[in-house]
Amino acid sequence: GEVVVGAKGRVEGPIVAGSVVIAGQVEGSIQAAVRLEVLAGARVRGDVVYRDLQIQHGALVEGALRSVDDESVGLKLVANCRT
């Protein structure tokens, strides 16, 4: 399935889905079996597991990023371009 968090949306807790699109705020882990898109202006605080990842300019991600294909990757990323 697909989960979409709109620009004014806020999720507190884990998200598990095939495809996830974040435009609002998420405080919790995200597991996207197929694709994760974090759109400009979105805020994510939590660990992320993904197969395909896109983070747009102006998005903020705080947490560990791990690819489903490579269990050994443990990358910490804070991406915030132009606030």
pLDDT of residue 71: 57
Q: How far apart, in whole angstroms, are the C-alpha atoms of residue 45 and residue 20?
A: 15
- For residue range 34-79, list pLDDT tens digits in order: 999 999 999 999 999 999 999 999 999 999 999 988 654 445 555 5
pLDDT of residue 80: 56
What is this structure's pTM? 0.82
Mean pLDDT computed over 17-23: 97
- Work out whether strand 75-78 and strand 60-67 pair parallel, antiparallel, or are unpaired: antiparallel
Residue 83 binned pLDDT confidence (cut-offs 50, 70, 90): very low
